Amino acid sequence: MTVATSLLALVLSTATGWFAVARWLPASMLLRVCLAFGAGLFIHSCVHLAALAVQCRHTFAWWAVDYATLAFAWCVARRLERAGSSSTPVGLPERLAAVPARRICAVIAALATLWVTFFFIAMYHKSQSGVLDAWAIWNLKAACFFRGGEQWTNAFSHVIDWSHPDYPLLLSLNVARLWSLGGQESFAASGLLAICFSIATVGLLYALIERLAGCIPAAIAVLGMIAARAFLQQGASQLADVPVGFMLLVGLGCAMIGLREAGSERRWFCVAGLFAGAAAWTKNEGLLMMLAMFAVLFLLAGGKRRAMLVGYALGAAAPLTVVVIFKLFLAGPSDLLADASLARTWSMVTDWSRHAMIGHIVMLTVRHNIGDALLLSLLVAAVAMGVSRAGVRAAMFAAVTLMLIIAGYHFVYLTTPYDLIWHLTTSVDRLLMQLWPAALLALFSATRCTVFD
């Protein structure tokens, strides 16, 4: 029953995302559904937070709030449609749609995804409460929201500073939402959400690369993603790293489509900004992702700069407002900034042994969690397919953004107040999975699908 209720709640939020965002984009159905899934979770998390603030309590009230949100999105969509702003689903460009292997690629990618879904379900059976951080951080906050009554803000108490009171709330609010709609706490709800995020990430990667480069690179990228040990292990962990990776992937992918295709750039950049902001509402790393994307757009935009930046800023405005309100009025202090001082930071940044240590452990983690054979196969496949000149600029945008993000992560590790080795070994694999889907997108978006013509 809990699973059925949670599924219904996820369908409801996806429908909201459909009317609010996905319906207006000229894209394939798969891409639209994946976008609707993420956008709906963002919208309903904000609504859930607002409802908590006004002391919404009963199961019936939660359902009413959710249906009202959906109805509002539908009304806005109807009004915009009457104003002539709607957009129909579009197929792929002719050169990509004509590839004979298209159906085979889609089937292979779908079967592979189905196969790993069974693995995720098995993982859930083995450890229903997820990994330690899942219940100590993300689901703990959800529990505070669900049972806290008037004291739900105790989730941010300094007494439980080990639970990171400064972490953003998209995931916790959505778990609390599923529990509230189901009327009880259930690991099934949080597990289902984790699995849905993993599957949506795979579907999204396929849809984006198919749109940018064609079905063959898309299928290879999907196989590469699910062949990574870390993705499998984190897919069912109930942490926020796969969700923030999903948001980053949407943000980058939509911006790449906007950069590459003429016609509806403003919409694509608006959605890119929205999801970059949603990444900041999912994890603190999302703030870095959002800023990195903005900076690279500013540098690479060329003639479309104004349209791009305005669209991006418009999209990011709403989630950024939510994040700022959260940071100002609810969040506790960040543990990473504890005892920070300029002198201490400078001494850490100029300590070359720390740089070397970070590089060493990152390399070890990449080799263990992804593997040499997998990396080599992906690189060989990408090189053999060849480079599509039309896609180079968009791929450069993604690659430079990722490098900026990695530089940011490097700086955080350099200046961490924790023991460096402990901090690295407990988090690098998760950061790697935040960036892995986006890295595959950057690699394969500039390849050519026409090799089999």
Site for other proteins in 257-286 (CB under 8 A): none
The Cα 298–Cα 311 span in angstroms is 12
Which of 26, 148, 183, 408 contacts other proteins by CB under 8 A? Answer: 148
Return the range that interacts with other proteins (CB under 8 A); candidates 59-67, 118-126, 191-199, 264-272: 118-126
Q: Where are the alpha helices (DSSP H) in 148-239?
A: 170-182, 187-212, 215-226, 229-235
Number of residues that bind other proteins (CB under 8 A): 55
To other proteins, the closest distance from the beta carbon of 331 in angstroms equals 16
User: Which lies closer to other proteins via its Cβ, residue 122 or residue 324?
Assistant: 122
Which of 55, 85, 86, 151 contacts other proteins by CB under 8 A? Answer: 151
Which of 95, 147, 305, 368 contacts other proteins by CB under 8 A? Answer: 147
Report the candidate in 324, 340, 320 with the shortest Cα–Cα distance to residue 416: 340
User: Which lies closer to other proteins via its Cβ, residue 229 or residue 367?
Assistant: 229
Report the candidate in 34, 29, 423 with the shortest Cα–Cα distance to residue 243: 34
To other proteins, the closest distance from the beta carbon of 2 in angstroms equals 14
Which of 55, 85, 86, 154 contacts other proteins by CB under 8 A? Answer: 154
Q: Is 387 helix (H, G, I), strand (E, B) or coil?
A: strand
Residue 128 near other proteins by CB under 8 A: yes
Which of 84, 94, 126, 306 contacts other proteins by CB under 8 A? Answer: 126
- Cα dist from 229 to 366, 371, 372, 379, 429, whole Å: 10, 8, 12, 18, 10
Site for other proteins in 82-111 (CB under 8 A): 108
- Cα dist from 335 to 54, 167, 339, 409, whole Å: 29, 10, 9, 15
Return the range that interacts with other proteins (CB under 8 A); candidates 9-17, 133-141, 273-281, 425-433: 133-141
203, 33 contact by CB (below 8 A): yes
235, 198 contact by CB (below 8 A): yes
Which of 86, 129, 425, 426 contacts other proteins by CB under 8 A? Answer: 129
Return the range that interacts with other proteins (CB under 8 A); candidates 3-11, 15-23, 159-167, 387-395: 159-167
Report the candidate in 106, 139, 305, 159 with the shortest Cα–Cα distance to residue 237: 139
The Cα 397–Cα 418 span in angstroms is 33
Q: Where are the alpha helices (DSSP H) in 301-419?
A: 305-329, 342-349, 352-369, 372-385, 389-414
To other proteins, the closest distance from the beta carbon of 227 in angstroms equals 4
Return the range that interacts with other proteins (CB under 8 A); candidates 45-53, 158-166, 249-257, 348-356: 158-166
The Cα 203–Cα 287 span in angstroms is 24
Q: What is the separation of C-alpha 287 from the centre of its chain, rounded to a whole number of angstroms?
A: 12
User: Which lies closer to other proteins via its Cβ, residue 214 or residue 286?
Assistant: 214
Phi/psi of residue 191, nearest 5 degrees = -65, -40
User: Which lies closer to other proteins via its Cβ, residue 148 or residue 408?
Assistant: 148
Q: Is 169 helix (H, G, I), strand (E, B) or coil?
A: coil
Going by C-beta distance under 8 Å and a sequence separation of 6 or more, which residues neighbour residue 426? none
To other proteins, the closest distance from the beta carbon of 128 in angstroms equals 6
The Cα 132–Cα 291 span in angstroms is 30
Within 13 Å of residue 260, how many CA atoms lie on the same side as its CB?
25
- Cα dist from 261 to 86, 146, 258, 345, whole Å: 18, 44, 6, 43
Site for other proteins in 360-389 (CB under 8 A): 371, 373-374, 377-378, 380-381, 384-386
Residue 144 near other proteins by CB under 8 A: yes
To other proteins, the closest distance from the beta carbon of 226 in angstroms equals 5
User: Which lies closer to other proteins via its Cβ, residue 149 or residue 333?
Assistant: 149
User: Which lies closer to other proteins via its Cβ, residue 162 or residue 298?
Assistant: 162
To other proteins, the closest distance from the beta carbon of 112 in angstroms equals 5
The Cα 449–Cα 221 span in angstroms is 13
Residue 418 near other proteins by CB under 8 A: no
User: Which lies closer to other proteins via its Cβ, residue 156 or residue 197?
Assistant: 156
- Is residue 430 exposed (0-12), middle (13-18) or buried (19+ Cβ within 10 Å)? buried
- Residue 109: count other Cβ atoms within 10 Å of its Cβ: 24
What x/- string results for residues 207 through 226 when contact with other proteins is judged by CB under 8 A? ---------x--xx--xx-x
Residue 159 near other proteins by CB under 8 A: yes
User: Which lies closer to other proteins via its Cβ, residue 74 or residue 119?
Assistant: 119
Which residues contact other proteins (rule: CB under 8 A)? 108, 112, 115-116, 118-119, 121-123, 125-129, 132, 135-136, 140, 143-144, 147-149, 151-152, 154-155, 157, 159-160, 162-163, 185, 216, 219-220, 223-224, 226-227, 229, 232-233, 371, 373-374, 377-378, 380-381, 384-386, 451-452
